[in-house]
Amino acid sequence: MKKLIAGNWKMNGSLAANESLLHALAEGLADEAASEIAICVPAVYLAQVQSLKKTVARLAPLGVGAQDVSAQLEGAYTGEISARMLLDMGCRYVIVGHSERRQYHAETDVLVAEKTRAALGVGITPIVCVGETLMEREAGYTEEVVKRQLAAVVHANGHCISEIVVAYEPVWAIGTGKTPSPEDAQSVHAVLRAQLKAATDQFSRVRILYGGSMNATNASALLAQPDIDGGLIGGASLKSVDFLKIIAAAQV
Ligand code: 13P
């Protein structure tokens, strides 16, 4: 299974900044077929990224994704963006249940499961984020929290669960420069793998990414763990040099 290195731009970028970032990435992306690469961009920039992909040949292998999707199919939901619209814009991926959405937009496990279903319904791969807060970790609840978050998604999606990507993102590691040791991250990934195994025969198709302060320096050690199948990268995905180094770390 190829590793997946996915950038999450979060609420960053501008037409000018995106264009220069993508041109810089294109320079380094030649012949990088050993892993899959994707960027999840603000929805307003999907059209720009798709049009750059058409004109810059080396961007062709880059998968494009969004950062959120409505659980609803269509209709009177002001401000929401449906899975079908994301498909229309050429999205291959969509992040669901990012901790920033759980925290600032009160997204529940059930809503995240419904959003996952909406994405799967149109053939977009949801990147389902799970992860514990610092308080939960310190209280010894890490396993319980990530299992509960994933269980909701499994419950609502049955055997289709084999089509998702999971991202383990400890909340305390996001944007802080702190990371669990590769072994600690691996042990949570192993728990998630076992849970997927219990849910589907096809569990080996499901990639489990690590996210949270992954950077050019720590990527190799994290990606070398047996159950870490890639990375979901925030800050470092906005710097072409760093993102390319992480992509290179995934090749070995
Ligand atoms: P950072 O890489 O900036 O810590 O963000 C991780 C993340 O939240 C990716 O979704």
Which residue reads 């089509």 in tokens?
Answer: 163
What number is the average pLDDT over the span 192-209?
96
CA angle 40, 48, 8 (to 5 degrees): 15
CA of 207 to the centre of ligand 1 (A): 17
Calculate the CA 238 to chain-centre distance.
Answer: 15
Residue pair 132/235 in contact (Cβ under 8 Å)? The answer is no
Query: pLDDT tens digits for 40-99?
Result: 999 999 999 999 999 999 999 899 999 999 999 999 999 999 999 999 999 999 999 999
What ligand 1 atom has the least distance to the C-alpha of 176?
4
Phi, psi of 37 (to 5 degrees): -125, 140
- Ligand 1 pocket by C-beta < 6 Å: which residues? 8, 98, 169, 174-175, 211-214, 232-236
Residue pair 143/191 in contact (Cβ under 8 Å)? The answer is yes
Which helix H or strand E contains 128, and what residues bound it?
strand 125-130
Nearest to 10 by CA among 47, 40, 48, 49: 40
Q: Report the distance separating Cα 28 and Cα 250, nearest Å.
A: 14
Please name each of the domains of the chain with its CATH number: 4-111+126-249 (3.20.20.70)
pTM: 0.98
Per-residue pLDDT at 32 exceeds 90: no
Q: What is the pLDDT at residue 30?
A: 66
Query: pLDDT tens digits for 71-85?
Result: 999 999 999 999 999
- How much is the mean pLDDT over the chain? 96
Nearest to 208 by CA among 185, 174, 175, 242: 185
Query: pLDDT tens digits for 109-155?
Result: 999 999 999 999 999 999 999 999 999 999 999 999 999 999 999 99
Query: pLDDT tens digits for 16-29?
Result: 999 999 999 999 88
Nearest CA to ligand 1 atom 2: 234
- DSSP one-letter string for 144-208: HHHHHHHHHHHHHHGGGGGG-EEEE--GGGTTTS----HHHHHHHHHHHHHHHHHH-TTGGG--E
In a mutational test of the pocket of ligand 1, which residue from 39, 174, 237 has the highest number of ligand atoms less than 8 Å from its CB?
174
DSSP code of residue 119: H
| Distance linking the first and last C-alpha atoms of the chain | 13
Q: Report the distance separating Cα 104 and Cα 126, nearest Å.
A: 20
